[in-house]
């Protein structure tokens, strides 16, 4: 079906940001994992999401939601879920460990490897977030200092609440939960859940109407 593909590829965010960001690579790994998930190949899905974690952190939550979903449904043995989680961890950590070894051999330390993670933990409030706009109009709210923890709490709630809900719906809700109180915002975040939003509205004539709009 070409409607969903065009609907995703021709949206302005994808056209403008994808050439300069890593979202195309991230979405590729996420959708590969989702494809294997639909084929009940949980191990392969975990490998794809683990590799995607090296691009952005988002696939880690997808893996967690999928494992929670399968565990609560009882469709896979616990041993299989544990193996899948281990596969995700190996795929996520292996590139970092290799980089850490080479960094240490060359420089005698690995602080440059840790810098991207530490940088994101210390980023200031972006004024194009909801809290940032509120700060411009009125004052900086007290919850701003705890915004990252509030966002994490909302995201974990999405992961754990209604665990039998379909994975694509939970991915959409996860991104919405992330954006509500996040201290950092970029339109590229929307590309993380657009494919699943398209899958959700795909049945019937809804997609054709949405594409026309």
Q: How far apart are alpha carbons 133 and 156 in whole angstroms?
A: 25
**pTM, to two decimals:** 0.84
Residue partners of 86: CB distance under 8 A and separation at least 6: none
The token pair at 97 is 């460990």
Q: What is the full per-residue pLDDT of the chain (213 aa) written as tens digits?
A: 677 777 777 788 888 877 778 888 999 999 999 999 989 888 999 999 999 999 989 999 999 998 888 887 776 677 888 888 899 999 999 988 998 898 888 888 888 888 877 887 778 888 888 888 888 888 888 788 888 888 899 999 998 888 778 888 899 999 999 888 888 888 888 888 888 888 777 665 665 665 556
Q: How far apart are alpha carbons 91 and 160 in whole angstroms?
A: 24
- Domain residues of the chain, as ranges? 2-212
The residue among 45, 13, 12, 15 whose CA lies nearest residue 30 is 45
pLDDT tens track for 17-57:
777 788 889 999 999 999 999 898 889 999 999 999 999 89
């Amino acid at each position: 079906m070409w409607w969903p593909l065009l609907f995703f590829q021709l949206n302005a965010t994808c056209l403008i940001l994808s050439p300069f960001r890593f979202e195309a690579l991230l979405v590729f790994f996420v959708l590969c994992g989702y494809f294997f998930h639909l084929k009940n190949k949980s191990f392969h899905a975990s490998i794809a999401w683990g590799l995607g974690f090296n691009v952005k952190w988002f696939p880690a939550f997808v893996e967690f939601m999928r494992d929670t979903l399968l565990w609560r449904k009882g469709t896979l043995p616990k041993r299989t879920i544990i193996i899948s989680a281990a596969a995700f961890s190996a795929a996520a950590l292996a590139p970092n460990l290799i980089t850490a070894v080479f960094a240490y051999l060359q420089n005698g330390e690995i602080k440059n490897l840790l810098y991207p993670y530490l940088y994101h933990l210390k980023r200031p409030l972006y004024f194009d977030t909801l809290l940032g706009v509120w700060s411009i109009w009125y004052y900086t709210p007290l919850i701003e200092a705890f915004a990252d923890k509030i966002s994490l709490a909302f995201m974990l709630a999405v992961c754990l609440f209604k665990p039998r809900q379909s994975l694509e719906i939970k991915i959409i809700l996860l991104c919405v939960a992330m954006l509500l109180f996040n201290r950092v915002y970029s339109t590229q975040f929307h590309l993380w859940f657009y494919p699943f939003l398209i899958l959700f509205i795909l049945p019937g004539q809804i997609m054709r109407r949405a594409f026309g709009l």
